Amino acid sequence: ETGVTQTPRHLVMGMTNKKSLKCEQHLGHNAMYWYKQSAKKPLELMFVYSLEERVENNSVPSRFSPECPNSSHLFLHLHTLQPEDSALYLCASSQELAVYNEQFFGPGTRLTVL
Amino acid sequence: TQLLEQSPQFLSIQEGENLTVYCNSSSVFSSLQWYRQEPGEGPVLLVTVVTGGEVKKLKRLTFQFGDARKDSSLHITAAQPGDTGLYLCAGGLLANAGNMLTFGGGTRLMVKP
């Protein structure tokens, strides 16, 4: 495996379910990100981790809970979501947390909340 | 209102035509990146510009960063069906800590054969 991988690619869940999204990067990067991409909004940054420590939380509802157990893995735990949370969730990584660094994106998880 | 405004939002052209996509803001950015996203995939970086007035070329794609570092443009010459996709600009703000990018709303381009 190379690059940034995400599983599952598609997820349908009810509002009372608990599920987790997984991201893995094989690039040796130190920073990882979660983004939300909705049909009618720009890409929204949700969480940023650098060396496994969270450095940014953009006012994301507590029903989204990130976890970064090591620099290669990032999880997004989902609980009691709302239909408006349906979107494409993208994971990205970069070498360092520097503004000029390229971010490498995974293919995303298409989430549908019923 | 969006911090980064992209225009047009949608563009459908014939193969061989030229086009320009714009990315505008009232804020000054330390860097500006352009990404292309294809269906079912994440965005892929095309270019990073960091100096006001900078012009970068990538084959048929020409990227320009405005002198005041508040705007950017992407020009495609002789568009091909393979250029079809969502084009995103993303700005890095001086006030932000780390690599916090602000994305524009995107321009969805379709090139018909």
Residue in chain A closest to B30 (alpha carbons) equals A99
A66 pLDDT band, cuts 50/70/90, is very high
pLDDT, tens digit, 9 for 90 and up, residues B51-63? 999 999 999 999 9
Average confidence (pLDDT) over A28-46: 91
- Indicate the burial class of A10 (C-beta count within 10 angstroms; 0-12, 13-18, 19 or more): exposed
> Shortest CB distance from A99 goes to which of B30, B103, B105?
B30
What pLDDT, on a 0 to 100 scale, did the predictor assign at position A12? 95
| Rounded CA separation B32/A39 (Å) | 23
| Rounded CA separation A33/A101 (Å) | 13
Residues of B with CB under 8 A from a CB of A: 2, 4, 30-31, 33, 35, 40-45, 48, 50, 88, 90, 92-93, 96-106
B17 pLDDT band, cuts 50/70/90, is very high
Rounded to the nearest angstrom, the minimum Cα separation between B66 and chain A is 17
Q: β-strands A10-13, A109-113: how paired?
A: parallel
What pLDDT, on a 0 to 100 scale, did the predictor assign at position A114? 92
B80 pLDDT band, cuts 50/70/90, is very high
pLDDT, tens digit, 9 for 90 and up, residues A14-31? 988 899 999 999 999 999
Residue B59 to residues A42, B17, B47, Cα–Cα distance (Å) = 27, 15, 12
What pLDDT, on a 0 to 100 scale, did the predictor assign at position A55? 83
SS3 B83: helix
Neighbours of A49 (CB within 10 A): 21
